[in-house]
């Protein structure tokens, strides 16, 4: 006959297994093992009841075991229902895509399956700090907050890591990193000065230019010819052009693919009246 502490130990085993099953995907092996353990404990309780040694504490332990098994059964059943429903939806979707005519399928394909990042706020921040597009941790968190404030779909929420990668990729792909090496010899302070000079040269507001160099402690902004006295006028022009390309890249984002704006242009052109056949 098991003592009360031994029964308690068995219950702990049952609870541990139930917890494992709830945390992981509960497979049939969990349920079988759990059921066997529970059966052993219940058989012991029945036996103690028969011989008149079943205490109220032991009865409570048995009730807790029953509750855990019910809980697990319910979770299992719920998961099976969800899996079935997902499987059915996936099958329908695959069959729909496979059987659809190509034209309709192409149109559908334009809705990218992998949700594009909501880069509006990151893009905006980048353009406001083009001289030094390296947000601090707090600034990244603010961008995340701003981005996710306007996102109702939890599946498309921007993660910290995504924002970090976006800035790394964008600096590289916009040509910013190349510009840094080409015109500032890898010196970020120098590039900030160049950006400030370009900003002053162009004049206007952030809205008019579409970009800003970002905040700087400098009080006097040197001219480009002072900053880069050895650079020829044609090379300075090339630099201005490269800078404009960076601005263009960050502003537009290549997600607005050629095909998309061509479609818009085509749609905007008034169609000639169709000739009767």
Q: Rule CB under 7 A: which residues touch DNA? A: 101-103, 109-114, 116-117, 119, 134-135, 137, 140, 161-162, 164-169, 171-173, 177, 181, 253-255, 257-260, 262
Token representation of residue 154: 């939890």
- By beta-carbon proximity to DNA, the closer residue of 8 and 175 is 175
Residue count of the chain: 277
- By beta-carbon proximity to DNA, the closer residue of 137 and 220 is 137
Nearest distance in Å: CB 155, DNA: 11
Token representation of residue 200: 């002053």
Token representation of residue 107: 């149109």
- By beta-carbon proximity to DNA, the closer residue of 33 and 244 is 244
Q: Please, where are the H alpha helices in the chain?
A: 4-23, 28-50, 56-99, 102-109, 120-128, 137-149, 160-174, 176-184, 188-202, 206-209, 224-227, 233-252, 258-268
Nearest distance in Å: CB 171, DNA: 5
- By beta-carbon proximity to DNA, the closer residue of 48 and 147 is 147
Nearest distance in Å: CB 168, DNA: 5
Nearest distance in Å: CB 252, DNA: 8
Token representation of residue 259: 């095909």
Q: What is the dihedral of CA 17, 21, 22, 24, to 10 degrees?
A: 130
CA distance 236 to 5: 85
Nearest distance in Å: CB 94, DNA: 13
Contact assessment for residue 131 and residue 191, using Cβ atoms and an 8 Å cutoff? yes
């Amino acid at each position: 006959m098991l003592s009360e502490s031994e029964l308690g130990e068995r219950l702990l085993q049952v609870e541990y297994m139930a917890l494992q099953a709830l945390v992981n995907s509960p497979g049939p092996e969990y349920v079988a093992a759990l059921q066997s353990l529970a059966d052993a404990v219940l058989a012991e309780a029945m036996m103690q009841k028969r011989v008149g040694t079943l205490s109220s504490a032991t009865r409570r332990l048995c009730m807790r075991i029953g509750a855990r098994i019910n809980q697990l059964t319910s979770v299992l059943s719920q998961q099976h229902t969800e899996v079935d429903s997902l499987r059915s939806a996936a099958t329908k979707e695959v069959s729909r895509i496979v059987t659809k005519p190509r034209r309709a399928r192409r149109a559908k394909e334009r809705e990218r399956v992998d949700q594009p990042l909501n880069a509006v706020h990151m893009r905006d921040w980048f353009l406001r700090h083009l001289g030094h597009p390296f947000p601090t941790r707090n600034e990244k968190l603010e961008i995340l907050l701003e981005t996710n404030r306007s996102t109702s779909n939890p599946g498309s929420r921007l993660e910290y890591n995504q924002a970090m990668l976006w800035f790394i990729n964008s600096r590289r792909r916009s040509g910013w990193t190349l510009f840094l090496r080409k015109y500032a010899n890898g010196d970020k302070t120098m590039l900030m000065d160049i950006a400030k000079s370009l900003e002053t040269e162009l004049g206007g507001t952030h809205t008019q230019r579409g970009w800003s160099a970002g905040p700087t402690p400098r009080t006097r902004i040197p001219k480009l010819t002072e900053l880069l006295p050895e650079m020829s006028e044609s090379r300075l022009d090339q630099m201005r052009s490269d800078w404009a390309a960076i601005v263009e890249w960050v502003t537009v984002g290549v997600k607005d693919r050629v095909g998309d704006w061509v479609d818009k242009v085509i749609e905007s052109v008034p169609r000639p009246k169709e000739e009767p056949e």
